Chain A
Amino acid sequence: MTTATASHDNHDDHGHHGPAKGIMRWVLTTNHKDIGTMYLWFSLTMLFIGGTMALIIRSELFQPGMQLIEPEFFNQMTTMHGLIMVFGAIMPAFVGLANWMVPLMIGAPDMALPRMNNWSFWILPFAFGMLLFTLFTEAGAPNFGWTFYAPLSTTYAPSSVTYFIFGVHMMGISSIMGAINIIVTILNLRAPGMTLMKMPLFVWTWFITAYLLVAVMPVLAGVVTMMLMDIHYGTAFFDAAGGGDPVLFQHVFWFFGHPEVYIMILPAFGIVSQIIPTFARKPLFGYASMVYATSSIAFLSFIVWAHHMFTVGLPLQTELFFMYATMLIAIPTGVKVFNWVSTMFRGSMTFETPMLFALAFVVLFTIGGFSGLMLSIAPADFQYHDTYFVVAHFHYVLVPGALFGIIAGVYYWLPKWTGHYINENLGKFHFWMSFIGVNVTFFPMHFIGLAGMPRRIPDYALQFADFNAIATVGAFIFGFSQLIFLFVLIKTIRGGEKATDQVWEGAEGLEWTIPSPAPYHTFAEPPHVK
């Protein structure tokens, strides 16, 4: 797509020096690569913490009846698992990838506002430290589900909700600053000749994602502020006795929440759109349509929020509007899947680890998309709502969707970051264990959901026992397979076959013109893109 005349002379940059030594290099850094690395390690840590919570949930659900933990603790686990995975694992991982790759892909010397960049990161460990700390307090952690519906999260909430609210404020500040930084970098720091319609799709999808973040994180801040006021200062936003409305909470929350869903998937679309052309050795099919499709999805994300609330008691016209608007999303999403498949059509395909994850993404995300289409049908949703069918749906788009996208991206760019190829056998082992684990975990949930098993309940009726047992086995396979991932990461950082500058035979773009590993400072002199 883009060719560049960048060269290897970036490492003899004048006036700049390499990284400082010791821990303070990381704490005080303004370097986009260091910050990207910190984001990625942070999100991996959160993945393991949130994953442990998921395994606690699955252990309790292995058999019917109360087995291991108290129901109150079960509620805390479902809540914290959701919050940590959404805000601590998936989102920071994408920001980490953006930090690393956006400047390299557009030929920028760094992010536009480097000090603010580091601040965006360092807020997060404090925010999540505060959130996790509530687990060890007497009142216990938040227990109202990651969607924190009022009045569960206001009138009936444990006192830790206050810390939860301030934690969300901190994450919001971090996200908004991170998103502004990405927007400004893309708008202002592109190399000469890198026009908007020449940008790699990962850059495009992050550009659009960043807009979504700037638009909806303040709404999240607004809704938690209203909760805070209802809890501590006697306002009546979500209390009908004072003229407010608990349903209003859901409207404001999902006005944030639905774009948030796309915040967690659009960058994965971008990653897959980078990987598939590389390993199919063909340019991406329908580049422009990909850009327009992503923009359409982003636009539609603002007018579909009430499909999360079909059973709450909405007027009929509202149900119909949100049903049809939701179905519209299938069109741009279908364009994307069609383009990925067409890119592979008659390509010279090879199946290295990143490609395997990208392919699994296309197939499994599409399954999640189809179950989403089923859920969009309002009358049918009355059956599915709050069942394991919904759990199956959003885990299919978030685990083999967003998370596989992230893992694919990490494997794809790891040789550029570390200078070493991964051990392909280990990578493929990780892939197949993850692929099997994820399907064994989540596919049976479709069946028990359609049969009526409600979500977020620690016990269930006997007829759901077999599928639950299978799902728990799958969850442990999937969870422990991620230790292979950790092992591969550490092994690749420490050594391995030396990577070439281009890394992958079919790879194109500015990031493949610089040495592997990427020098500490790159593109101090902007390359010229033809």
Chain B
Amino acid sequence: MATSNYYVPESSYFPIVSSIGLFGMAAGAGGMMNHMSSGGQGFGFPHLVFTAGTLLLAFVFFQWFAKVITESRGGMYSPQMDKSFRWGMSWFIFSEVMFFVAFFGVLLYVRQWAGPWLDGQGDKGSSHMLWPDFDYSWPMFNNPGGADYPGPNAVIDPWHIPLLNTVLLMTSSVTLTIAHHALRAMHRGRTIFWLGATVVLGAIFVYYQILEYIEAYTELGLTLDSGIYGSTFFMLTGFHGLHVTIGAFILFIMWIRICKGHFTPEQHFGFEAAAWYWHFVDMVWVGLFLFVYIL
């Protein structure tokens, strides 16, 4: 319920400059992709627009977050403001969940319906007439239209790198929780250590994920072009990897802020938000490990 000192900031140049930066990124990325797909080479105007937009957005975000931190440390935020941040972050994470739901839904649809139908099974098995020789299996080593989509020779073995990555991420969730407890108990040294360990575990995860991709591309013939298995595999694990990278970066910022002594046992929502995000990324991985790698 409202209190009388809810902080309403003065007018600000952050939103408009962020919009310009985002526009540069979007228009530049569009131009870059069209350039690439029409056979263009090298660094052109769209690349310049994209780079400028990205740098501008990064710059404004740095300023913007710095301002929020200053305001927060200046005591301008009431407990009610804190609640606004909490609700905001929760629903942002929910929107991220829904983004992944779309991709998991695609995986489910392909494996449960579209694939078997192309093989002549089920209610819409008549689509078998498109490619009468096609046999459905998952992982899909032979795609219906083989010439355009050469299937993979093999897929990633879940019990090597993916299992290791599962252990890494699970452990990182634990270390993060230890760091949180240490923060609440006012042990800055211990917080710095355990939070640092979390970031390092995240970084190792990304490193192994890159190794896995290299193996997929160079040895297994598993690429973005290798049909729906490659499409779902790389998009799901790729977006997850991107989120791990973002999450680790946010945690690293929190690590710097803890080193600077920004947080108190009572007030450390920046840290908590980063932790929520990290646990969300972790949960997505569990889904990936189950539905993309094992099953």
Residues in A lying within 8 Å of B, measured CB to CB? 16, 20, 24-25, 27-31, 107-110, 112-116, 118-119, 121-123, 125-127, 129-130, 159, 162-163, 165-167, 169-170, 173, 176, 179-181, 183-184, 187-192, 194, 214-219, 221-223, 225-226, 228-229, 231-237, 239-245, 247-248, 251-252, 255, 313-317, 521, 523-526
Contacts and interface: CB of A to CB of B under 8 A. Distances in A.
B101 interface: yes
B124 A122 contact: no
Given A242-B144, A242-B227, A231 B26 contact: no
B92 interface: yes
Contact of A524 (B4, B36, B92): B4
A346 B14 CA distance: 53
Interface in B85-128: 87-88, 91-92, 94-96, 98-99, 101-103, 105-106, 109-110, 114-115, 118, 122-124, 127
B6 interface: yes
Nearest to A169: B26
A226 B106 contact: yes
Given A107-B2, A231-B37, 12 more contacts: A109-B2, A115-B9, A159-B37, A183-B91, A188-B80, A235-B230, A236-B227, A236-B228, A240-B145, A243-B110, A243-B149, A244-B231
A229 B231 contact: yes
Counting chain B residues whose Cβ lies within 8 A of the other chain, the interface size class is 35 or more
A20 B127 contact: no
Interface of B: 1-4, 6, 8-16, 18-20, 22-23, 26-27, 29-31, 33-34, 36-38, 64, 80, 83-84, 87-88, 91-92, 94-96, 98-99, 101-103, 105-106, 109-110, 114-115, 118, 122-124, 127, 130-131, 140, 143-145, 148-149, 223-225, 227-231, 234-235
B225 A234 contact: yes
Contact of B94 (A130, A214, A247): A214
Given A219-B99, A243-B228, A162 B2 contact: no
Nearest to B99: A218
Contact of A30 (B8, B118, B234): B8
A32 to B, nearest CB: 9
B143 A219 contact: no
Contacts of A179: 91
B26 A166 contact: yes
Contact of A243 (B99, B143, B224): B143
Contacts of B37: 159, 231-232
Contacts of B23: 123, 126-127, 129-130, 170
Contacts of B103: 222
The 4 closest A-B CB pairs, nearest first, are A241-B145, A222-B102, A315-B123, A243-B228
Contacts of A244: 110, 114, 227-228, 231
B95 A243 contact: no
A526 B102 CA distance: 41
A342 to B, nearest CB: 33
B229 A243 contact: yes
B211 to A, nearest CB: 21
Contacts of A317: 123
B84 A184 contact: yes
Nearest to A219: B102
Nearest to B19: A122
A190 B3 CA distance: 9
B228 to A, nearest CB: 4
